[in-house]
Amino acid sequence: MSRVTRRIALGIGAAVTLALPLVLDSGQLSIYILLGLTAIVTVGLSMLMGYAGQVSLGQAAFYGIGAYTAGLLALHGWPPLIGLVAAPLAAALAALVLGVPLLRLRGHHLAFATLAMQLILLSIADNQAWMGGSIGLQGIPQLSLGSLEFDTDMSYAYVTWIALAGVVLTARNVIQSRPGRALRALATSEVAAESAGIPVGRYKLTVFALSAGFAGLAGGIYAFYLGYVSPGSFPILLSVGYVVMVVVGGLGTIWGALAGTAAVTLLVQLLNQLGTRDGVPGWLPSVLSYAVYAVLLIAVVLYLPRGIVPALVSLRRRADS
């Protein structure tokens, strides 16, 4: 794709996603917001997995840290804006601390360790009175900026859009740069990366913190939007879902993370709507989610091993030549 057609595609994409909230009904609007928040997390995870080659099966933990940080600060009377800024910072800080031992591990070991990290954090949240225990935090006030109150779904849709645009721009800028090339380099050969002068440990930690910061930002918006958070809002299923979305969309492309997130989220929503009709048992939706994740993952690995977006790109290239 030439620079010009890419610009045009980007412009159309931005215009359509900006116009959508105006025409969606309230149920669809909440899916739009959820989708945007999820994409903020998966763009960060895509940097971590697709570019730097490090897996995290605990990304929902950072989403949760952001949500709890925003919620707790707001409930203690801090202005919502402070909570929204603190959410990504707290998540990134947690990643910096936890990443020191975690990132010594690689591959499956790292995946299991991040999963364990999330389970531990969930059980802490479950048992701490100041975090609301298993009930969580309730009555979190709405987001506001001075006299500007964000009290409609529409306003949260635009807050989410702006946050996602900022995250995508940040990720793109970082990837196409000296530190971005360093991350891609260390993903395939840490030894050669070190011999080029790259401090591998520090770079891994930085991208881990960056991806956690994105997740924390999404969590912060989520807390204000829903008005309550509890340990149950951040199940392992959520972390698994993020990884599936990134892999389905295609590793090593930001657009892949966006496409994978949209495809998986919409499919799960569709099945949820079928699954929550009268007479259907309550456990069905989460079982369906797992089934969707499993089927998608297997289908992609078998038929589109590089993911949806890279497959489309090479299809286009072939059509062009």
Partner 1 sequence: MSGLEVSAVAKHFGGVYAVRDVSLSVADGELRGIIGPNGAGKSTLFNVISGHLAADEGAISLDGRRIERLPPHQRAGLGVSIVFQAARIFRGMTVGENVMVGAHRTTSAGFTAAALRLPAHRRDERRIAAAAHAALEMTGLSEFADRDAGTLPHGLQRSMQLARALCAEPSLLLLDEPASGLRAAEREDLIELLRKLRDTGLTIMLVEHDVALVGRLADRITVLDLGAVIAEGTPGQIRDHPQVIAAYLGAAP
Interaction site with partner 1 (CB under 8 A): 170, 173-174, 176-182, 184-185, 187-189, 191-200, 206, 210, 252
Q: How far is the CB of 182 from partner 1 (least distance, A)?
A: 6
Residue type, 194: E
CB nearer partner 1, residue 125 or residue 183? 183
Q: Smallest gap, in angstroms, from Cβ of residue 314 to partner 1?
A: 12
Helix H or strand E segment including 145: strand 143-145
Instruction: Pick between residue 76 and residue 178 the one whose CB is nearest to partner 1.
Output: 178
Q: Specify the residue, 83 or 180, whose C-beta has the smaller distance to partner 1.
A: 180
Number of H helices, E strands in the chain: 13, 2
In the bound state with partner 1, the residue whose beta carbon lies nearer, of 157 and 247, is: 247
- 79 CB-near residues (< 8 Å, 6+ apart): 144
Q: Which residue has the tokens 């971005």?
A: 180
Give the shortest CB-315-to-partner 1 separation in angstroms: 18
Q: Which amino acid is at 186?
A: L
Amino acid at 158: Y
Tell me the closest approach of the beta carbon of residue 195 to partner 1, in angstroms.
Answer: 5
C-alpha to C-alpha distances, 122 to 58, 82, 119, 300, nearest whole angstrom? 11, 24, 5, 31
Q: Between residues 128 and 177, which has the closer beta carbon with respect to partner 1?
A: 177
Q: What letter would DSSP give residue 48?
A: I
Half-sphere exposure of 52 (CA within 13 A, CB side): 31
Minimum distance from CB of 205 to partner 1 (Å)?
Answer: 11
